[in-house]
Amino acid sequence: MANFFKRKTNWVNSRMGFFLLIVVLFWVKTYIAYQTEFTLGAKGNVQQFLLLINPIPAALLVFGIALYFRGRLAYWLMLIIDVLESTWIFANVLYYREFSDFLSFGIMKGSSDVGNNLGKSLAQITHVYDFFVYIDIVILIILLVTHVIRIDARPFKRRYAFSITVLSFGLMFAEFGMANADRSGLLTRTFDNNYIVKYLGLNEYAAFNAYQTQKESATRASANASDMKSVLKYLKQNRVSPNVSYFGKEKGKNVFIIHLESFQQFLIDYKVDGKEVTPTLNKFYHSKNTLAYKNFYNQVAQGKTSDAEMMLENSLFGLPQGSAMTTYGTQNTFQAAPAILSQEAGYTTAAFHGDVPSFWNRDNTYKSWGYQYFFSSSYYTEKSGYSIGYGLKDKIFFKQSAKYIEQLPQPFYAKLITLTNHYPYELDKKNTDFPATKTGDKTVDPYVQTAHYLDQAFGEFISYLKKAGLYKNSVIVAYGDHYGISNNHRPAIAQLLGKSKVTNYDLAQFQKVPFMIHATGLKGGIQSTYGGEIDVLPTLLDLLGVKNTDTIQFGQDLLAKNRNQTVAFRNGNFVSPKYTKIGGTVYDTKTGDALTLTAAQKKDVAKLQNHVTTELSLSDRVIYGDLLRFYTPKNFTKVNKTDFTYKLKPAMEQLAEAEEKEKTSVLAKHDGKSTVSDYKTDAPELK
């Protein structure tokens, strides 16, 4: 028997045999990951074939490197390469499971900003079977150590190693040719990483992403003022006139931007066991003084919250890879809401965030945007039980923020970023008084509980604003930044939506988030207009009566009567009142039915696609090239970041001086008597 096994395994005792074995094992586990962990949407024989073979060329190339070395070193190099490659698969499986995207160098570069919290989140979704990606390596090491597989110490001819390298490149070019024939312009006009992995593979995606990252760095160095011409031409052609019924109606009022973390539109009016998940926000949404948008979509990519902030306050899209705030927030020039409102309307500007200031590079980016004050973790009292997940619990955060809000000279622009309704939706029992859903998905079911807690915190804050005399003199903007439940939870989403299964159309509609603008006396109502986060800044500026006809903004006022209602997603897909395009399929937006397009419909869809591709590309050009350094609108001065400090003592000294000079703060209007005692909360930690 031993001799039989020996004869059958002689082939693997050669270096070429071991090389082929490790390549085949790697190919198999990569393909298994493709089919079980990623939603790549391979359709048709060509795409399925490319998905099957695409791990092979890169595997031949990277494992073939070891063949250029002698003896034991060649074997151990193959194993080390296998460990690195398997770790790349493992990391992408975890990242994709929660974020429906692949890791990029931009995200990894920004990992120092989000590392601890992201690590904690990913730990929640790691399954024991994920580690099976390493099982072949363990087996191969055991077989080598026990000499079941013997190391072939004979020299391996260089020309054979070189032939394998040439073969790998030949296969890559052939694969790319087939892929490009099936999807023309694969690497030049796609914004979706799924396409790269589906057609070319995980390794090729990594190489392409590295190339993109390097190219982006070089773009800024080569950019010049003439690059702004195409941007200005496009914006001039797409500029819309404000709605005269709303322009300037809220002039001079304070502005509160309430960032509802991971809050999706379906939560509005949603019930669990007959109970409203968000009764306060439901009432706010349906108020006659609230402009509430039922067809408002998040448009984020890998930057998630940071992408939402970029769009909300700059009307610039986030990037296709990584986070613009992390990569470009420090060095780039911006024309953001804080600077515009401060310079053109005399606003005091402040951001509030119950976590470390470096998260998403906010401490640097906010200076570039012109925020005069940034109240982050060092400004808040921290005790045991005050924080969970990504920072201070919302009820505690809102209450502690009140002591700074009352000191801000009016009018002010204040952004408050909530955190508790963030994955992994943790909440201690003493704060949980709402039933979880029963989808059976442990990631999804607690989501309504943290959303309910956020709703309670929001209600307490609104009550305080009324008592402090701020409610009637303020515009309150509440918005969801991005999805809370990713598309990888299809069965649970179907249950939440009361469907037997969900389609790609359903998932596109699931990207809706609330957007509400409330002000006393504002003519509100539920709006059917289609829009997204890119449209917030021009809408808000028009309401406040701040002219913005020469600023660089890719969004359009949601209240404008002649606006383009095409909502661009970061991956190049889009939603419009008539058509929804997801990948290669076009749906009827009203019915959700997949369409077989007529010649006229194809022309309409192509026109919409061109609009989407153009605005995404031009917005990217502005950020990558830092083009705003070459263009300054009238009545606007480029932000000098050295004007601001967010260190606790000097910042509070500056605020005290401004308050004394202006005498318009809530504290000053109450003759120096604090209103914080008027803030009522049922947070058990504060009792």
Known catalytic residues? 305
User: Which helix or strand (DSSP H or E) is residue 294 part of?
Assistant: strand 290-297
What is the distance between the alpha carbons of residues 10 and 32, in angstroms, rounded to a whole number?
28
Q: What is the DSSP letter of 407?
A: T
Distance CA 145, CA 162 (A): 29
Cα separations (Å) of 79 from 132, 154, 491, 586?
Answer: 16, 19, 38, 45
Q: Strands 271-272 and 412-417: what pairing?
A: unpaired
What 3 state SS string does 335-368 have?
CCHHHHHHHHHCCEEEEEECCCCCHHHHHHHHHH
For the four alpha carbons of 74, 79, 85 and 87, in that order, the dihedral sign comes to negative
| Strand-pair partners of 414 | 256, 350
Query: How far is the CA of 264 from the CAs of 1, 306, 372, in angstroms?
Result: 63, 17, 30
Return phi, psi of residue 669, to 5°.
Answer: -70, -15
Crossing angle of helices 135-145 and 15-37, in 10° steps, is 160
Q: Is the dihedral of CA 657, 395, 516, 490 positive or negative?
A: positive
Phi, psi of 229 (to 5 degrees): -60, -45
Taking the CA atoms of 482, 487, 492 and 496 in sequence, report the sign of the dihedral they define.
positive
Alpha-carbon gap, residue 172 to 204, rounded angstroms: 9
Contact 402, 243 (CB under 8 A): no
Biggest CA pair distance of the chain: 97
Which distant-in-sequence residues (6+ apart) come within 8 Å of 544 by Cβ?
A: 248, 250, 251, 252, 253, 255, 341, 345, 475
Q: 302 Cβ partners below 8 Å, 6+ apart?
A: 99, 101, 104, 106, 107, 318, 319, 320, 321, 322, 323
Among 28, 86, 25, CA closest to 52: 28
Give the separation between CA 527 and CA 296, rounded to whole angstroms. Answer: 9
The position carrying tokens 């606007």 is 636
DSSP state of 69: S
Task: List residues bridging with 579 in a β-sheet.
Answer: 588
